[in-house]
Amino acid sequence: MKKKLLFTHGIDIDGYGCAILAKMVWDKNVDIIFADNFDLDEKFVKVWGGKERNFDDYDEIFVTDHCIGLPLCNMVDKDKKLRAKIKVFDHHETRVGQQDRFPWVTLISEQNGIKECGASLFCKHLINRGLLPSALSKESWVELTRQYDTWDWKRLGNQKANQLNTLSLAVGREKYIENMLANHASLGDFDFTDEEKTIIATYEKAFDEQLHKYGKQIQVIDFAGAKAGYVKIKDIYKNDMASLVRESEMNGQISYLIMPIEERGTVSLRAVDSDFDVSAVATKYGGGGHKCSASFPLKNLPKIQEKNK
């Protein structure tokens, strides 16, 4: 039997979740390539050209929580052999109406009033094929992943979803995937082990201290026609920084946050005003995402005069 190949987002629990699902189904018969926000096309082309692996070695190819660019989609669609073995599962709003024109791309941001993520879409695909149990618990780690990635955990008040992400930050991607497969390889009700609870509590304390330090460094600027809060930050703090600002006196003073993340080479955007669409800003600078959460390449960020803190 030929192996499977999975390209998935490599920086958050949604992309990690797709890797876990693939490992649950195919174990050692799946190879996984993790891609950052803006290097998927490059990694895809390397495999297509045989520079790193070769598509001929696989009978199925998946792209999850991500989508190759429109020009590359057009090229794939003209390749009958590759087109027959590739499937894409993505949920990012800025790609709706573009890449989803191709029959091998499943691009759903929301259905039946529920926001989707890469892991939830991929999980449904595997269940429909009979490769995973059809009974997916509403307290499964897949559902917790969906809640965190779509920010539904805030609306639902489900701290367990937030803590699942905290665990991934505390132990790192490889350890998180390994740990989930060892301790939580089912789609039933999820709960943390005692060791995981200790790891989360220790991490949260140090994390909160650093987050508030970043909060004091926010600079209010005019950018893309609106007031924004600008602060250089580490990737792991971007979502919590947005929550902190929404609950602070800055809420009402700025529409969104601009957070350059040097280790990723990206600029993360998070809406503070729920009516402000940060994906429009991201698209303007060569990126994309969702209305409340988006990003673009750091190299495209205009120079900003920073004040000394």
pLDDT digits 0-9 by tens, 95-104:
777 888 999 9
* Residues 60-84: tens digit of each pLDDT: 999 999 999 999 999 999 999 999 9
Axis-axis angle for helices 13-26, 173-183 (nearest 10): 50
Q: What mean pLDDT value characterizes the chain?
A: 94
Q: How confident is the model at residue 291 (pLDDT cuts 50, 70, 90)?
A: very high
Q: Are domains 3-141 and 215-300 of this chain identical in fold? A: no
pLDDT greater than 60 at residue 113: yes
* Residues 275-288: tens digit of each pLDDT: 999 999 999 999 99
- Residue ranges of domains in the chain: 3-141, 215-300
Q: What is the pLDDT of residue 1?
A: 62
Q: How confident is the model at residue 37 (pLDDT cuts 50, 70, 90)?
A: confident
Q: What is the pLDDT of residue 182?
A: 95
Q: How confident is the model at residue 2 (pLDDT cuts 50, 70, 90)?
A: confident
Q: d(Cα 177, Cα 22) in Å, to the nearest integer?
A: 11
Q: What is the pLDDT of residue 13?
A: 97
Per cent of the chain over pLDDT 90 is 84
> In CATH, what class is 3-141?
alpha beta
Q: Tell me the average pLDDT across 180-186.
A: 93
Helix, strand, coil shares of the chain as percentages rounded to 5? 45, 20, 35
Please name the helix (run of DSSP H) or strand (run of DSSP E) that holds residue 264, with its range, or none.
Answer: none
Q: How confident is the model at residue 145 (pLDDT cuts 50, 70, 90)?
A: very high
Q: Tell me the average pLDDT across 104-129.
A: 95
Q: d(Cα 149, Cα 93) in Å, to the nearest integer?
A: 13
- Per DSSP bridges, beta strands 219-223 and 226-230 are antiparallel
Q: Tell me the average pLDDT across 228-252.
A: 92
Query: What are the tokens at 240?
Result: 């919590």
Q: Tell me the average pLDDT across 108-119.
A: 94
Q: d(Cα 63, Cα 118) in Å, to the nearest integer?
A: 9
CA-CA-CA-CA dihedral for 46, 48, 54, 55, to nearest 10: 140
Q: Are 260 and 301 in contact (CB under 8 A)?
A: yes
Q: What is the pLDDT of residue 230?
A: 97
Q: What is the pLDDT of residue 105?
A: 96
DSSP letter at 242 equals H
Three-state DSSP at 60 gives strand
pLDDT greater than 90 at residue 309: no
Q: What is the pLDDT of residue 44?
A: 96
Q: What is the pLDDT of residue 125?
A: 97
Q: Tell me the average pLDDT across 227-254.
A: 92
DSSP letter at 299 equals G
Domain 215-300, CATH:
3.10.310.30
Q: Which amino acid is at 115?
A: K
Q: Tell me the average pLDDT across 147-151.
A: 94
Q: d(Cα 24, Cα 30) in Å, to the nearest integer?
A: 10
Of 146, 145, 185, residue with least CA distance to 165: 145
Q: d(Cα 131, Cα 150) in Å, to the nearest integer?
A: 25
Q: How confident is the model at residue 251 (pLDDT cuts 50, 70, 90)?
A: confident
Range with the poorest average pLDDT among 2-11, 225-234, 299-308: 299-308
Q: What is the pLDDT of residue 308?
A: 61
